[in-house]
Chain A
């Protein structure tokens, strides 16, 4: 069985430049390029903050790379 997580989902928005565009004003007194953000990302499907290893039933594979881990 293969387990896919948000990292492989097309709704997963983690690139810093896109994050800053997604939340206008984020770059005024903060930054998506800073350490404090760590791996925080936005789920564009549900508009909530997630980490790469979250999962949900609305997953849609982005088709760019393999799963985070495969469970045999």
Chain B
């Protein structure tokens, strides 16, 4: 009897699988919620008391439109105190929370100082008056600079301690909720879910059946690749790897393919969208169905939004499609694949015992923060007229939160590049590459048809 055949999971005591309350301080999803909601509540209190402190703390040079280094230097000289305070705030917040999650401060602090300085440089580039003329969109510049540093300068691996891509993007998404009307979530959510579900199902099945029937891949590998290319990249692959009892190498293959194609699409989709003349909302929806990972998708959507002059619409359409249309359902995908492994495949191949609570255990909890922030801010600002909102609330409350969100996104986009060391990625066989790549093709094409033709009117009105 092989070990694989004898694998078993005891049914009793499955409660013990849960982290319980420890999850509230050991998972970055919850920290993203505590920080995002905390910042939002602080912003509301300061706004209500007429304080401009948060506005000052959210400073960045991205909107300067400088034309000489002298102007840039003057900006930093005049605001050095605010930058020092802002840096200290980020360092304490991220340092303390990552320490609680188990990351060493001795590694985090120097790496974060490096990340913050790089972020300032990215904002400064974005603030150059001619940046748009040369396509120096901050997400793309941050990604490329990060890739160059990680692969040519070869930063030490311990610096990854501060390059927390997922933590930063989750915080950014919760802060995004504060500027996202709950009414939009409720009205557009069902359309996003319908479109995303159709595309995810078709793509997942394409990769799985091409992988198993045409290329003869191990069905566990095909399943891991299928969800990686259709639901939520490596995170979904990891969830399903447990459901079907996949090998470590299977996930490693998924990492290489997901990262490779995600990077290609960050760099290509914004320019194709521009060449096709897509509206920011339509392109955001298309990117939302095409990109596998939240961080990569936000980079592409944000870059195109800036190119099109309507970043808000691109990011909102992307968020609806990716976060609400796809991320929410990882737990269900996990259950379905566990069911397939148990019922359709031979029972001995099942990785984990079927348990409906898996849906909650694997739920991307940061989305709760997004919904909570959206609901709270909608209620708080509902008493203002449209004119007062634009004159008072927007500059005093909303824009500082947008700036802080942009900081989180820049940390994230830089971290994608800084953690991508091509030499460490596993070489992938042509069969896995072919199955996954064909799935990506179907995903992109179907996403384009549905975003640009079927639901065009809906997304272009974002």
Nearest CB to that of A29 among chain B residues?
A: B293
Contact A33 B9 (CB under 8 A): no
Within 8 A of A (CB), among B396-448: 416, 419-421, 424-426
B residues less than 8 Å from A25 (CB atoms): 234, 252, 255-256, 259, 419-421, 424-426
Please tell me if B251 contacts chain A, counting CB pairs below 8 Å: yes
Contact A50 B8 (CB under 8 A): no
Please tell me if A36 contacts chain B, counting CB pairs below 8 Å: yes
Mask, A18-46, CB within 8 Å of B = 1, is: 00101111111111011111111010011
Query: Given the interface contacts A29-B259, A30-B235, A56-B3, does A69 sit within 8 Å of B351 by beta carbon?
Result: no
A residues less than 8 Å from B106 (CB atoms): none
Contact B165 A31 (CB under 8 A): yes
Our pick among A27, A38, A48, A53 for the contact of B160 (Cβ within 8 Å) is A27
B residues less than 8 Å from A56 (CB atoms): 3, 6-8
Contact B351 A37 (CB under 8 A): no
A residues less than 8 Å from B234 (CB atoms): 25-26, 28-30
Within the complex, the shortest CB–CB distance from B198 to chain A, in Å, comes to: 22
Contact B416 A3 (CB under 8 A): no
Query: Given the interface contacts A27-B419, A69-B12, does A35 sit within 8 Å of B252 by beta carbon?
Result: no
Our pick among A28, A30, A35 for the contact of B23 (Cβ within 8 Å) is A35
Contact B249 A47 (CB under 8 A): yes
Contact B17 A24 (CB under 8 A): no
Please tell me if A1 contacts chain B, counting CB pairs below 8 Å: no
Mask, B6-18, CB within 8 Å of A = 1, is: 1111101110111
Contact B167 A23 (CB under 8 A): no
Expressed in whole angstroms, the Cα–Cα distance for A39 and B246 within the complex equals 15
Contact B9 A34 (CB under 8 A): no
Please tell me if A55 contacts chain B, counting CB pairs below 8 Å: yes
Count how many chain A residues have C-beta atoms less than 8 Å from C-beta atoms of the other chain: 42
Within 8 A of A (CB), among B217-250: 232-236, 238-239, 241-242, 245-249
Expressed in whole angstroms, the Cα–Cα distance for A47 and B247 within the complex equals 6
Query: Given the interface contacts A34-B29, A53-B16, A68-B13, does A40 sit within 8 Å of B259 by beta carbon?
Result: no
Within 8 A of A (CB), among B144-170: 160, 163-167, 170
Contact A30 B10 (CB under 8 A): no
A residues less than 8 Å from B256 (CB atoms): 25
Please tell me if A57 contacts chain B, counting CB pairs below 8 Å: yes
Please tell me if B274 contacts chain A, counting CB pairs below 8 Å: no
Contact A28 B420 (CB under 8 A): yes
B residues less than 8 Å from A52 (CB atoms): 16-17
Please tell me if B102 contacts chain A, counting CB pairs below 8 Å: yes
Expressed in whole angstroms, the Cα–Cα distance for A56 and B6 within the complex equals 6
B residues less than 8 Å from A22 (CB atoms): 248
Contact B10 A3 (CB under 8 A): yes
Query: Given the interface contacts A30-B293, A33-B101, A37-B235, does A48 sit within 8 Å of B248 by beta carbon?
Result: yes
Count how many chain B residues have C-beta atoms less than 8 Å from C-beta atoms of the other chain: 73
Contact A28 B416 (CB under 8 A): yes
Contact A36 B8 (CB under 8 A): no
Please tell me if B35 contacts chain A, counting CB pairs below 8 Å: no
Please tell me if B28 contacts chain A, counting CB pairs below 8 Å: yes
A residues less than 8 Å from B296 (CB atoms): 29
Contact A50 B242 (CB under 8 A): yes
Contact B364 A35 (CB under 8 A): yes
Nearest CB to that of A45 among chain B residues?
A: B3
Nearest CB to that of B368 among chain A residues?
A: A35
Contact B247 A48 (CB under 8 A): yes
Expressed in whole angstroms, the Cα–Cα distance for A3 and B28 within the complex equals 32
Nearest CB to that of A4 among chain B residues?
A: B10
Within 8 A of B (CB), among A1-25: 3, 5, 7, 15-17, 20, 22-25
Q: List 30 A-B contacts (CB under 8 A).
A: A7-B16, A16-B101, A23-B255, A24-B255, A24-B425, A24-B426, A25-B419, A25-B425, A26-B238, A28-B420, A29-B262, A29-B295, A33-B26, A33-B101, A34-B166, A35-B362, A35-B364, A36-B238, A36-B330, A38-B239, A40-B241, A45-B3, A48-B7, A48-B246, A51-B351, A54-B10, A55-B10, A56-B6, A68-B13, A69-B16
Chain A interface (Cβ < 8 Å from any Cβ of B)? 3, 5, 7, 15-17, 20, 22-31, 33-40, 42, 45-58, 68-69
Nearest 5 pairs between A and B by C-beta? A30-B234, A31-B166, A29-B293, A24-B424, A35-B29
